[in-house]
Amino acid sequence: MHWQQPSQMRPAVPRTRQGTHREKIEESVARASTWLFAVVGIFMAACDGNGESPTGPTIHEPPRVVAVTVQPVTARMAVGETRQFSATATFSDGSTQSSGITWTSGDESVARVSASGLVTGVSDGSANVQATASGLSGSASVTVETPPFSGAWAMITAGGLGAAHTCALDTNGRAFCWGTGGVGQLGDGVKDAFHRSLLPAPVAGGRQYTSISAGAKHTCALTPAGEAYCWGGLPGDIAEVPTRVPDPSSGSVTWSSIQAGLFYTCGITTTEHLYCWGQNNVSQLGIDPAQARIDVPTRVSQWFGYPSGSALQGPFPLERVKSVAVSKDNDPHTCATFDDGGTRRLACWGGNDRAQTAIGGPSASVDYPAHTTWDVEAVSVGLGTTCVIGDASDRFCLGWATGGRLGIGDVPLDVFFLPTWQGLNDGIQWESIEIGMFHACGLSTAGQAYCWGEGSDGEIGDGVSRPGKFVKVPAPVANPAPFAGLSVGRKHTCAVTGDGRAYCWGHNSSGELGTADTSDALAPRLVKNPGL
């Protein structure tokens, strides 16, 4: 037997177990190497192979608005002037854009701006016009100023009950008023009981207007945008500066005409609907006789037929209204013309103590629009009187007949009414007629003015003094030139010529003639330039 030293002895290891352990170690090393190489490969790829520090994946953000600029930055504009503004949005990548801009005005009573950046001067003052894109804004400063008197008149309107006033528009659309201003009817910011102006004074706010109407103690006017403003002695209120008429409860409207009467107003919209508001003591609004006053424009929506010898017909919808006439005196009544199947018809309502509504004999009032069968082109109303112009330019007047008010000669009746049309063969082709308190005037198609009725204070305008006398047929006014428009107040009359001159005649105790004095005028006198 062979024997070995202990130090030389080694334990026996089964071969199969020794091979398995080594293979596992080698496998683990191989796996670790593969993982390491993969990590290094990813790292190198992220560094684009140059070994620099990685920055992470690229994220593309959309450019954002960093500035909005408006041009021009500052601007001075006249009332009524329009000017195009532009805005540019600058983005973070340097690009620019002029679309997607939202425009707003800091004070729309001074300047308005459209969705395209068109700015309109409304009244005197300053306002910021702002352009906004993606929540970022830029602005421009706008100063609006009233232009000076243009030097020529475009239209004139005479009003008044008791003390009188007159208003006019120059050819720039700027409003001026003169005469008595005790309840703010001059619109110059004063409502002192003793206030008056002997010269045309600018109406506050400097707005541009397209038409104007002087009532008994208030005045109304329309802007080019079809907004209505009124000032003066309104029912239950006094506004010494132009105040915007509220929209009807049914929604906003655009006005095409407006007429101021005795504590009430009526207007026609661009949709040819008639609205009235104010005092309603004798149903002059034609809406609801149970309401003594209506504070917001309310539509006069129906009419009734009153054919002679027949039962009441209707109601029918009152649409396609062409004109409206309101009374500036006591016991007011209202008339309107409207299209009825291609024919212009007449409807009247309100006070009827002199049968002035043209539907029959006298009565306390007519509550709703009453339709006659007359074909008419124009209508005017006054104290107890109505005059209409037919399609042949002839005229017909009815109602209170005393004192020559109707201009039809001697009438043995206090009230004159004919159930059928009877045009007057006075040899005059009539363009328009206006009725005051005790006199009336009309304009022929040739521009000649005629007046009739009371002539104590020069109302007839023919240069003749007639204390306590009446003119019972149309008498020609001493025209300085053909007139283009005419308006009658309580006891005075004013007219404008085609070249923009204004003349007034008649009573003048409050300076309503605009002649810088208080002397009555027996014939037309030139209105002085505004006392700016």
pLDDT band of residue 401 (cuts 50, 70, 90) is confident
Read off the CATH number of the domain in which 102 is found: 2.60.40.1080
pLDDT above 70: residue 161: yes
Whether residue 198 sits in one domain with residue 139: no
Q: Which whole number is the average pLDDT over 142-156? A: 92
Whether residue 434 sits in one domain with residue 297: yes
Render pLDDT for 210-268 as a digit per residue (tens, 0 to 9): 999 999 999 999 999 999 999 998 655 779 999 999 999 989 999 999 999 999 999 99
pLDDT (0 to 100) of residue 31: 54
Whether residue 185 sits in one domain with residue 102: no
In a domain, 4, yes or no: no
pLDDT band of residue 17 (cuts 50, 70, 90) is very low
pLDDT (0 to 100) of residue 420: 55
pLDDT (0 to 100) of residue 43: 42
Phi/psi of residue 6, nearest 5 degrees: -60, -40
Render pLDDT for 483-518 as a digit per residue (tens, 0 to 9): 999 999 999 999 999 999 999 999 999 999 999 999
- Average pLDDT over the chain, rounded to an integer: 86
Whether residue 180 sits in one domain with residue 97: no
Distance (Å, rounded) from C-alpha 15 to C-alpha 12?
9
Whether residue 207 sits in one domain with residue 93: no
In a domain, 305, yes or no: yes
Domain end call among 90, 117, 145:
145
DSSP H or E stretch at residue 170: strand 163-170
Domain around 174: 153-526
Q: Pull the structure tokens for residue 47.
A: 């560094």
pLDDT above 80: residue 278: yes
Phi/psi of residue 246, nearest 5 degrees: -65, 155
Read off the CATH number of the domain in which 494 is found: 2.130.10.30
DSSP H or E stretch at residue 364: strand 363-371
Render pLDDT for 438-487 as a digit per residue (tens, 0 to 9): 999 999 999 999 999 999 999 999 999 898 889 999 999 999 999 999 99
Q: Which whole number is the average pLDDT over 360-370? A: 88
Closest CA to 397 of 444, 352, 356: 356
Whether residue 165 sits in one domain with residue 136: no
Q: What is the largest CA-CA distance in the chain?
A: 179
Q: Which whole number is the average pLDDT over 161-169? A: 90
Q: Which whole number is the average pLDDT over 60-72? A: 91
pLDDT above 70: residue 16: no
Whether residue 167 sits in one domain with residue 256: yes
Share of the chain above pLDDT 70, in %: 85
pLDDT (0 to 100) of residue 19: 47
Whether residue 433 sits in one domain with residue 297: yes
Q: Pull the structure tokens for residue 265.
A: 């107003």
In a domain, 58, yes or no: no
Residue type, 65: V
Q: How many CB atoms lie within 10 A of CB 435?
A: 29
In a domain, 189, yes or no: yes
List Cβ neighbours of 430 (8 Å cut-off, separation of 6 or more).
Answer: 389, 393, 394, 395, 442, 443, 444, 445
DSSP H or E stretch at residue 494: strand 492-497
Share of the chain above pLDDT 90, in %: 65
Whether residue 495 sits in one domain with residue 432: yes
In a domain, 227, yes or no: yes
pLDDT (0 to 100) of residue 10: 41
pLDDT above 90: residue 308: no
Sheet holding 430-435, edge to edge: 430-435, 439-444, 449-454, 470-476
List Cβ neighbours of 250 (8 Å cut-off, separation of 6 or more).
Answer: 299
pLDDT (0 to 100) of residue 168: 98
pLDDT (0 to 100) of residue 268: 98
pLDDT band of residue 153 (cuts 50, 70, 90) is very high
Q: Please, what sign has the CA dihedral across residues 222, 226, 227, 228?
A: positive
Domain end call among 145, 171, 197:
145
Whether residue 297 sits in one domain with residue 256: yes
State pTM to two decimals.
0.80
pLDDT above 50: residue 11: no
List Cβ neighbours of 512 (8 Å cut-off, separation of 6 or more).
Answer: 158, 160, 164, 165, 166, 178, 179, 180, 489, 492, 504
pLDDT top residue among 104 and 12 = 104
pLDDT above 80: residue 353: yes
Total number of domains in the chain: 2
Whether residue 436 sits in one domain with residue 344: yes
* β-strands 136-145, 74-78 pairing: parallel
* β-strands 96-97, 492-497 pairing: unpaired
